[in-house]
Amino acid sequence: MSTLIVPQQVPSVADDCEQLRKAFAGWGTNEDLIISILGHRNATQRKQIRQTYAEMHGEDLLKALDKELTNDFESLVTVWVLDPAERDAFLANVATKKFTSTNQVLMEIACTRSSHELLLARQAYHARYKKSLEEDVAQHVTGDFCKLLFPLVCSYRYEGDEVNMSLAKSEAKIIRDKIEKKSYNDEELIRILATRSRAQINATLNQYKNEFGNDINKDLKTEPQDEFLALLRATVKCLTSPARYFAKVLRLAIERRGTDEGALTRVVATRAEVDMKMIKEEYQRRSSVHLERAIGKDTHGDYEKMLLALVGDESA
Amino acid sequence: MSTLIVPQQVPSVADDCEQLRKAFAGWGTNEDLIISILGHRNATQRKQIRQTYAEMHGEDLLKALDKELTNDFESLVTVWVLDPAERDAFLANVATKKFTSTNQVLMEIACTRSSHELLLARQAYHARYKKSLEEDVAQHVTGDFCKLLFPLVCSYRYEGDEVNMSLAKSEAKIIRDKIEKKSYNDEELIRILATRSRAQINATLNQYKNEFGNDINKDLKTEPQDEFLALLRATVKCLTSPARYFAKVLRLAIERRGTDEGALTRVVATRAEVDMKMIKEEYQRRSSVHLERAIGKDTHGDYEKMLLALVGDESA
């Protein structure tokens, strides 16, 4: 479901490093050359390029990119070059440092990665920041947001398909009860979303819909302006249909007045190799326009070219 | 710091399996032979024995032991034979199913294992119980106990030695403030204990003592009968001096009227290969009697022999 286009004949890692070095050399920078290489290599290949570049040229590729590139293009190339776990650690760290009640990045990382990927992100967080992700979340996030986000970032969910139907029924009732009382920050409600396996949560929410008539997220929309409720709805969405969640993030990032480049960069860089094909389908279904076209309309220059390369635009 | 005595010349795994098979054969069981093998093999060797036994005899060694052994001896041999992560998962599962306010096993596992060991236990929990440790804790443990135990079992602490002294100072003040207000279940207090690295917690608690005069655990002893406070004190102890904590568990298990075999078995089986030497020193320092002697006085038969083998009694 990746949209990344890797050429059938990939040059050797040493060749890629040599070409990148050339792209940086002299006056100006050859951005097209950078995109033609880094925009068309998978995570393993990029990791090898970064290692080999450091060995050949005695400099971290990220440092070199930082010197040569600017603005949104630089941000995109930089997070893209990072190893996925390191990238998640970086994005999570930024989110804890500048946490606001509308920032859903921590939840997004906690709920759309596999248990193992989330663990790798926590390990990368140790290595990079010399502390744990959860201590930063616990320290910087407060109130109901912390009550929900702390167990989410600490979770190591069971990933099997087994479903306990009687548990699904009883927990659907618990959820219904809390929603009726508008106890959206209730411990039981949070416990269920933060600890149950995705398969179990799906069964519980199907049961909820069968028994009580609505999608849970419809019932959670009573106060559309409430930011905690918005986070709760997004949590449900990330756990049950991540592609729909990401398509919506892209829509909001693109359709608002003035693009939200941060969100656009994050979603494209983190999902290109995961489920961008599905996200594109969802995007088109809801916006009646191809994502590539929307990106082309809203961005420009090297940033646009790199985005288009990553979402699999054949011409990029 | 292990007390396990592994012979210099260890028989082949196949020989060990053959001998075990002989020990089970015919009328009666040769317990001494079982102890002479399983009481003197390290975790890796026991794992190989279990694998090879299953291959050679088409039966899980644990099943065979279950058929042949009884009572406390059986419990000890069984948890000892389990892989450490699987053993932790097993002990934690029993603790969640029968959780009582005096049960400190979940805290003990969460606070005395390394971050990686705790993670392995969580993985073993998935494999064995088809669900996550944290969902069982969140579901079965309630109130303040859950408030403390949930983040403890979910923790993946940073394990570096780096210490932030200004943080240690500010958090020592926070802790002091909460203790003065008797807000023992306060979120900040729990956050600090549940998320900071051991090095950081040590610095904070040293700072606490320097600034406010007492060991934190002295100040937490205002209501000796309060079970949540007891768990909080034990948490501090497990994080800062696990050997002293375990020596005390052994003292309480042995010195009370009627031995607490559950605790004795658990501590000996989980610590023999870790820090039992230090635990024995602590035990003797506080009880003025050798642990071996105390075990010999309080237990008997094969259970006694196996315990003595694991705590490194030369004659066992």
DSSP characters for A257-309?
Answer: SS--HHHHHHHHHHHTTTTHHHHHHHHHHHHSS-HHHHHHHH--HHHHHHHHH
Average pLDDT per 10 consecutive residues for chain B, totaling 316 residues: 95 97 91 97 98 96 95 97 98 95 96 98 98 96 96 98 97 98 96 98 98 96 91 98 98 91 98 98 95 96 98 83
Q: CA of A116: which chain B residue's CA is closest? A: B123
Q: pTM of the full predicted structure? A: 0.94
Q: Compute the radius of gyration of chain B from its Cα atoms.
A: 21
B156: nearest CB among A122, A195, A196: A122
Residue with the two structure tokens 């694991």:
B310
pLDDT of residue B205: 98
Distances (CA, A) of A280 to A73, A274, A312: 21, 12, 10
Which pLDDT tens digit goes with each residue over A155-200?
A: 999 999 999 999 999 999 999 999 999 999 999 999 999 999 999 9
Give the one of B150, B159, B162 whose C-beta lies nearest to A151's C-beta: B150
Residue B316: per-residue pLDDT: 62
- E strand or H helix that includes residue B283: helix B276-287
- For residue A316, the model assigns a pLDDT of 63
Give one word for A42, left, alpha or beta, with left for phi > 0 and alpha for psi -120 to 50: beta
Task: Name which of B128, B136, B171, B130 is nearest B153 in CA terms.
Answer: B136
Q: From chain B, pick out residues whose CB is under 8 angstroms from the CB of A110.
A: none
Please report the pLDDT score of residue B183 as a whole number: 96
Task: Search chain B and give the residue with CA nearest A150.
Answer: B151
Q: Are B278 and B47 in contact (CB under 8 A)?
A: no
- Residue length of chain A: 316
Q: Look up residue B135 and give its two tokens.
A: 């969902």
The residues on A that touch B, with CB distances below 8 Å, are 119, 122-123, 126, 130-132, 134-135, 138-139, 150-151, 154-160, 162, 191, 194-197
| Per-residue confidence (pLDDT) for residue A164, from 0 to 100 | 97
Q: Report residues of chain A scoring pLDDT below 50.
A: none
